[in-house]
Chain A
Amino acid sequence: MESRRDFLKTAATGALVLGSQSKLGLAAGLDQRVQTGKSKVVIARDASLHGTGAQPDEKRVQGLLDRAIAAYTDRDHPVEAWKRIVRADKVIGLKVNGLGGKGVSTHLSLILAICERLQQAGIKPGNIVIWERNARDLQACGLTISTDPNRMRCYGNDVAGYEEQSVTWGGSSVKLAKVLTRECDMVIGLPILKDHSMAGVTFAMKNMYGVVERPSELHGDGCNPGVADINCIPAIRDKVRFTIGDAMTSVYDGGPGFHPERLWQPNALIVGEDRVAVDHTAWQMLERKRAEVGFPTFEAAGRPPRYIATASDAAHRLGTNDPQRMHLMEI
């Protein structure tokens, strides 16, 4: 049987017959809020994901991804499900997160599983861009830098650069990564769930700090309103449409860096379009873990993720942080 890496190698050379193009595309085909009035968030779990090893099993990760996407889209067949998320004629960016280093970065197995399904859904290899701040962060995810336009591309902002002009939203002014502004039609966020020493929680919205030139300037006051502000910038708000959050491994304290003594394996993916609802769900998952091991709440620790409420306020309107307005599916 062909391994995933073999598959991707073949696909990247263009030898694979790709699936037919979607007629729906993301906006028309997927917006779950329009369909249900609530923001749908799926938490998919697999208790056996890691087995006895440090890394999750590749096949189980693919299975977990397929279950999550099937539940989210109400489509059983993975390729059909993906066609409701992406359009085949678009350039799709995958914004991974490698800041925490090798121990707690977006898992390579998840990235590869998504790339495989994207190609099966009709996305050409050269129209898939995996990116992060820099080469080091990408390598932390286990990725290799590639700028070949005929293959899946993978490079950092250190290669593609930033826009000369700053954009401002609220009190936050930033220079955006050119990968976002010039190359991608749509971005899928692939954050990894972590505690954050200032923001409290880092996941879907905080992952966008890797899209701006000097994220350190947005750390004031627990990254609030910095996180909410930059997610309102049109290029981010409009292009980053979907989150496949990696909660297979996490740090529940001491983040965002790798602290193995605080490592935890929730063995889960958190999927959704509403980035605020996704972050609220992730936050609650971390709170439960901290309570389980006797750690204080984020509020008691002095770093509640206030930016989540800010993101849902009347000024930002990025989504909902109200559980009553979420449709949470746990599978």
Chain B
Amino acid sequence: MKYRSNWKWAFAVLVMIGAVAGTGCKKKGADPFPASNAVADWQKTSETRVFAAKDLWQYIDGDAEQYVSAGVVSTSTSDYKYKGELEATLDVYTMSDAAGARKILETGQSSDAKAVQLGDAGVAYAQSVIFRKGPYLVRIVAYESTLDAQQALLALAHAVEAKL
């Protein structure tokens, strides 16, 4: 009787540990999209949309193939607005491995890219920031060029990085 009770407790503890660990994993990787005002002056202005690799053409037809060939698993995207004016789009590409993320980042990179401390590697332009961290490739693009656009994009990018 005593042994049976101990086994029950042990089983319950194992279940709890598993649940906590599972929740922890999900938190770490599930939603890298900062909520409104999680980053100063940034508002999340759309729902997050998710595209499986086979459906990526619906989002970026014509560009999808290069991501698919680099091993994209899924792509999540959402729109943001900075100070109620500057519109931007945040894309998070989940690749099958870090090599895929590196391939995409290096393919699109050019001499005018400014290296930034983000994730494993990152670059910034006047209106966009791109970085990779493990199997994730993150691209944030603003639709206008303003004086503070790059700094604002970098602030958002750091918040995304922290959630990956």
Contact = CB atoms under 8 A, between A and B. Distances in A.
Interface of A: 54, 99, 101-103, 196-199, 202, 209, 215-216, 219, 254-261, 263
A312 to B, nearest CB: 23
A102 B65 contact: no
Nearest to A256: B62
Contacts, number: 59
Contacts of A260: 125-128, 141-143, 145
Given A103-B141, A260-B125, A219 B65 contact: yes
Contacts of A257: 60, 62-63
Contacts of B60: 257
A101 B143 CA distance: 9
B9 interface: no
Contact of B128 (A99, A101, A255, A259): A259
> What 7 pairs across the A-B complex have the smallest Cβ distances?
A260-B127, A216-B57, A261-B125, A256-B62, A257-B63, A54-B144, A102-B143
Contacts of B144: 54
A245 B75 CA distance: 31
A194 to B, nearest CB: 9
A184 B125 CA distance: 42
A99 B143 contact: no
Contacts of A101: 89, 143
A196 B62 CA distance: 7
B66 interface: yes
Nearest to B79: A102
Interface in B68-111: 87, 89, 108, 110
Contacts of A215: 57, 61
A156 B16 CA distance: 49
Contact of B61 (A99, A103, A254, A263): A99
Name the residue in B63, B108, B110, B145 with the highest tally of chain A Cβ atoms < 10 Å from its Cβ.
Answer: B63
A174 to B, nearest CB: 14
24 contacts: A54-B143, A54-B144, A54-B145, A99-B61, A101-B89, A102-B89, A103-B141, A197-B63, A199-B62, A202-B62, A215-B61, A216-B61, A216-B64, A219-B62, A219-B65, A254-B108, A256-B62, A256-B63, A257-B62, A260-B141, A260-B142, A260-B145, A261-B113, A261-B128
Contacts of A219: 62, 65
Nearest to A294: B111
B143 A255 contact: no
A197 B126 contact: no
Name the residue in B61, B108, B110, B128 with the highest tally of chain A Cβ atoms < 10 Å from its Cβ.
Answer: B61
Nearest to A220: B65
